[in-house]
Amino acid sequence: MDDYSAYRDAECAALYDAVNAGRDDAAFWLTMAREASGGPLLDIGCGTGRVLLPLARAGYEIHGIDLSAPMLARAQAKLAAEPPEVRERVRLLEADMASFDLGRRFAAVFSTFGGFHHLRTVDEQLACLGACRAHLRTRGQLVLDLVNADPAPLPDLPGAEPADGEPTAELAVWTEGRRVRSWMDTLAYHREQQLAECRMTYEIIAPDGHTRRLSETFPLRYVFRFELEHLLARAGFGLVALYGDYDLSPLADDSPVLLAVAARSD
Ligand SMILES: C[S@@+](CC[C@H](N)C(=O)[O-])C[C@H]1O[C@@H](n2cnc3c(N)ncnc32)[C@H](O)[C@@H]1O
């Protein structure tokens, strides 16, 4: 991917962690790790290590790759504060999830919190799935965490910019006396490519009420349930399970996420 433009800002990487600290996916990934017969694990698009670090703390050897230097730098800084036995379990590398060669195989590959949506073409998606397959042991599992997208043009996610001055409760976080709120909105939707032009905005509110905004825009490609099944089959995977939420509930119309567990079909 030569014109990658997302997650370019170190401050956004820190804010990303602040606003996503309460995300409820940790137990799901621990369950997926347990099913991977002890590891080692690979997290593609690991970002700031939000999921990777708790897995390392839980005893799993885990490698993480990401294209964003600021996100990886934050992961590295957080890792440096961990005890030596946790640090030893982790490897972080700047690499493209659509073309990587780590020279070893893993018990499971994870793509957490929608990272796969950053792949904008079928060629990139298949290249990524092929690379994941090549890095999996026989019967190794790939787990993808995707948005359960509506085929209609997407609404703003996770909500439009609030009209009043008060941060929405679920997104507001206090950091060093500053409040932070974030929202993502869709600026344009290109149906023929299944691409949404998304803008992520962080608003930082100082104790004296002064506000400052930081925004990043990037395209996200939405993937639908049966399209995903076809993609996985083309890449040599068989579907093992589909879930609609992190509590392992079945996929339904109104499920917030599409969680796919697939295994190498050989
Ligand atoms: C929504 S964030 C998810 C981060 C992390 N997985 C989590 O759960 O918090 C998406 C991440 O995917 C990374 N990313 C996007 N495209 C990528 C690519 N082609 N190769 C590797 N990483 C990529 C971004 O830099 C970003 O860190």
Quick one: 24 and 89 in the same domain?
A: yes
Parts of the chain with a pLDDT under 70? 1-5, 151-176
Per-residue pLDDT tens digits for 18-61: 889 888 999 999 999 999 987 899 999 999 999 999 999 999 99
Model pLDDT, residue 148? 94
CA of 6 to the centre of ligand 1 (A): 9
Quick one: 181 and 215 in the same domain?
A: yes
Residue in 1, 17, 97, 120 to alter for ligand 1 test, most ligand atoms within 8 A of Cβ: 97
Q: Is the CB of 157 under 6 A from ligand 1?
A: no
Model pLDDT, residue 11? 84
In this structure, is residue 3 part of a structural domain?
no
Model pLDDT, residue 40? 97
Residue in 63, 93, 118, 147 to alter for ligand 1 test, most ligand atoms within 8 A of Cβ: 118
Domain that holds residue 99: 10-148+223-264
Q: Is the CB of 111 under 6 A from ligand 1?
A: no
Quick one: 21 and 139 in the same domain?
A: yes
Model pLDDT, residue 245? 98
Quick one: 18 and 114 in the same domain?
A: yes
Residue in 25, 55, 66, 246 to alter for ligand 1 test, most ligand atoms within 8 A of Cβ: 66
Model pLDDT, residue 109? 98
**CATH label of the domain that carries residue 121:** 3.40.50.150
In this structure, is residue 83 part of a structural domain?
yes
In this structure, is residue 255 part of a structural domain?
yes
Contacts within 8 Å (CB) and 24+ apart, 152-158? 153/186, 153/189, 153/191, 154/186, 154/189, 154/196, 154/222, 155/186, 156/183, 156/184, 156/185, 156/186, 157/184, 157/185, 157/186, 157/198, 158/183, 158/184
Quick one: 140 and 204 in the same domain?
A: no
Domain count, the chain: 2
Quick one: 78 and 92 in the same domain?
A: yes
Model pLDDT, residue 93? 98
Model pLDDT, residue 156? 59
Quick one: 216 and 227 in the same domain?
A: no
Model pLDDT, residue 143? 98
